[in-house]
Amino acid sequence: MPSPRRDAPDHSPAANARAAAVRPVDAGGRAGAPNARTGGDAPGPRAADLVAEAVRSGILSGELAPGTPLREEELSATHGVSRHTARTALARLTAERLVTAEPYRGVRVSLLDDAALVALQQLRCALETEAVRIVKEGGIHPPDVDDALDALAAAEESGDWPATLDAHARVHLALVDAAGSPRIAEEYRRLDSEMHLLLTHVRPAYPAGALAAEHRAYVAAALSDPERAVRAHLDHSTRAILDSRRRDA
């Protein structure tokens, strides 16, 4: 029986860029060369976690653009892990909707169209509304929200969009986490990763300082009237993102 055909290694510029973006990590979670003593493949699911985190970082930083193909063989070679481990890492990212697996096209970094954005925001609205309702009924002031708002103001003032995205996520997560519901928080984080991916590549037009001011007002309104405030806030952000897409098209 003839041996199975192996595809030739891809040394194209695009493949080199993908390899540079998804940097190898060692068993301790640090960037660097594969672990020589273990052959680079940490035992059990830990190795898949590390590979998934490296690819996730490349996606959310914008180094891996929407539509970029992610191939098991490249991840395996880059990180010094087995194809099975690389496949497991991609499956985790697929579950987070950061990548999309399609028949005959393989796995690619996700690209949210307008309909997917609207659906995503509707789900965020449902989860965030319930979380803030719990917070309000419990008379809780979210412990991390003030620091998150200050971080958002500082990041926005610096003009650092990636830092602004991180701080923006912190504000919403502070509200959700304060509800004390692990299930709501877990599901919300999945959606937040998708939103982060979208906003990495779409920057709505906000005047300097407007984003922080808007979120300070939003937090106050949400803690007073969760259903009305959350829906109004997310409807506004959805329109801003769609307008930015059309403007940049």
Domain ranges in the chain?
13-109, 114-248
Question: Given phi > 0 = left and psi -120 to 50 = alpha, else beta, which region is 12?
Answer: beta
Q: What is the CATH number of domain 114-248?
A: 1.20.120.530
Query: What pTM did the predictor assign?
Result: 0.75
Q: For 183-217, how does the pLDDT look when each residue is reduced to its tens digit (9 = 90+)? A: 999 999 989 889 998 888 888 888 888 999 999 99
Q: What is the CATH number of domain 13-109?
A: 1.10.10.10
Q: For 136-181, how does the pLDDT look when each residue is reduced to its tens digit (9 = 90+)? A: 999 999 999 999 999 999 999 999 999 999 999 999 999 999 999 9
- SS3 of the chain: helix, strand, coil, percent, to 5: 65, 5, 30
Give the helix/strand (H/E) hosting 202.
none
Q: For 211-242, how does the pLDDT look when each residue is reduced to its tens digit (9 = 90+)? A: 999 999 999 999 999 999 999 999 999 999 99
Residues 6+ apart with CB under 8 A from 142: 135, 174, 175, 177, 178, 219
Question: Distance (Å, rounded) from C-alpha 10 to C-alpha 160?
Answer: 34
Identify whether the C-beta of residue 230 lies closer than 8 Å to the C-beta of residue 129.
yes
Q: For 80-100, how does the pLDDT look when each residue is reduced to its tens digit (9 = 90+)? A: 999 999 999 999 999 989 999
Identify whether the C-beta of residue 206 lies closer than 8 Å to the C-beta of residue 242.
no
Nearest in space to 38 (alpha carbons), one of 23, 26, 48: 26
Position 221: which residue type?
A: A
Sheet order of strands, 69-70 included: 69-70, 106-109, 99-102
